[in-house]
Amino acid sequence: MSSLEDINDFITASRRVRTARELEGLVLSISREMGFDYFALIHHVDLAPMNDELSHMDDGGLLALTNYPPEWVAAYVARNIVVNDPVHLASHRTSVGFRWDEVNKLIDVTSAHRHIRDDTLKAGLDQGFTVPANIPGEANGSCSFAMRFGRALPERNLPMAQLIGSYAFQAARDLVLRRRDTRELKRKSPLPQRQLECILLVAKGYNDAEIGQKLGITEETVKWYLKQARASYGVNKRVQLVMHAIWDGQLPLSEVFRSAP
């Protein structure tokens, strides 16, 4: 399977999906038709707050869709491997798809990276092909296609995987943007100034006690302001809060990088 007609059918279908589960099923189907055993469509951020009801799309507007072995997914999240995953780090250095055995051409592979690769093999994931999805101002992401241990990559379908991966990530991104827009309609007014001051200091790396000292308020008050701000955006993590505040223009990047600690 590698015809332009097949690719066009996928693109058309991906633009019609309305839920993460629909997209997950669509990508799983096309992955197997191309000859791959597994896929992973994710943002390269902390995946701990994944929500099963949303098919691993969390309330912070981030995505993680995959059919990787459940045991490996659990270990990957628990150990927060995403932040040091050599495949993900390599995807930040290119704009086109690459085989996993080409990672050492894109980054300096460390012993930690080799340990992650060994653990990936133990989990039953062998060869793979990753399509980067790096959009300025947003969290980096990727769409990966992988094989069970001992199975070779479907070489002739790698160009197709490049296109499918790109359009699959865009479809997921569209879902995220629609959910964000829905939240924005519910949040009718800008965040209060005090909440924004706390978010700015979080973005600069200060902890709650340090924020309280700088603003002349108690640590508990800082926690309360940040809790209220997270509720306004409907997110659970501080990194998500910072991302959303930057995304909608309430927290200028120029302020974040000015006089950081």
Structure-token match 């390269």, residue found: 44
pLDDT, mean of residues 137-159: 92
pLDDT over 70, % of the chain = 87
Q: What domains lie within the chain, and their CATH numbers? A: 4-183 (3.30.450.80), 187-256 (1.10.10.10)
Q: What is the largest CA-CA distance in the chain?
A: 64
Q: Is the pLDDT assigned to residue 191 strictly greater than 70?
A: yes
Q: Is the pLDDT of residue 26 over 80?
A: yes
Q: What does the mean pLDDT of the chain come to? A: 86
Give φ, ψ of 155 to 5 degrees: -50, -45
The average pLDDT across 163-190 equals 77
Q: CA 249 → CA 137, 189, 190, 255, distances in Å?
A: 11, 13, 10, 11
Tell me what the mean pLDDT of segment 74-103 comes to: 92
Cβ partners under 8 Å of residue 37, min gap 6: 31, 146, 147, 148, 151
> Is residue 212 pLDDT above 50, yes or no?
yes
pLDDT for the residue 181: 57
